[in-house]
Amino acid sequence: MAATYTGSCKCSAIKIEMQGEPDIIGLCHCNNCRKSTGSAYSTNAIFQKSAFTIVSGEAKVFEAKGGSGNPAYVNFCSNCGSTMWTLTPMRTEIVVVKMGVLDGDAFEKLTPKVESFTSRRPSWVNCVDGATQFENGFPKPPPQ
């Protein structure tokens, strides 16, 4: 049986579901992710768009400049402000889900395998042991 992951915003107005395992889990140190999360980096789970469903609610969309300089469409709850996922026209087949919105023990099951924009990682943040490091950009997920 394929894994199912669920997530929601802080107020539970928006609920999402992803079928199957994510393509990759990674930390992103780009400025867009920093601003979106209010932290030094974002922990992201990349799923195929075909595996992603909005179960309830409607996200508000903010067009931001992504780490690459291309548009990034940040989807968030207009009620509680939780950043939930990001879409990009450069990679239309994927959804970048913010790990903090996932329910249950997803943080224990899904460990980062890559770090992107490490050239922007603060000196006081350690790299993830065993994670592939990318100075810029986020790698394409492996072929299905």
Q: Which residues contact 141 (CB under 8 A, 6 or more apart)?
A: 23, 24, 46, 48, 94
Q: Which residues contact 42 (CB under 8 A, 6 or more apart)?
A: 27, 28, 33, 34, 36, 98
Domain presence at residue 99: yes
The letter for the amino acid at 33 is C
Under a CB-based contact definition with an 8 Å cutoff, are residues 13 and 7 in contact? no
Q: Which residues contact 124 (CB under 8 A, 6 or more apart)?
A: none
- Dihedral (CA of 118, 123, 125, 130) sign: positive
User: In the chain, how many domains are there?
Assistant: 1
Under a CB-based contact definition with an 8 Å cutoff, are residues 67 and 116 in contact? yes
Domain housing 94? 4-133
- pTM for this model (two decimals): 0.88
Domain presence at residue 56: yes
CATH number for the domain including 29?
A: 2.170.150.70
Domain presence at residue 139: no
| pLDDT mean values, one per 10 residues, the chain (144 residues) | 92 98 93 87 95 98 83 94 93 93 91 92 93 79 53
Domain presence at residue 115: yes
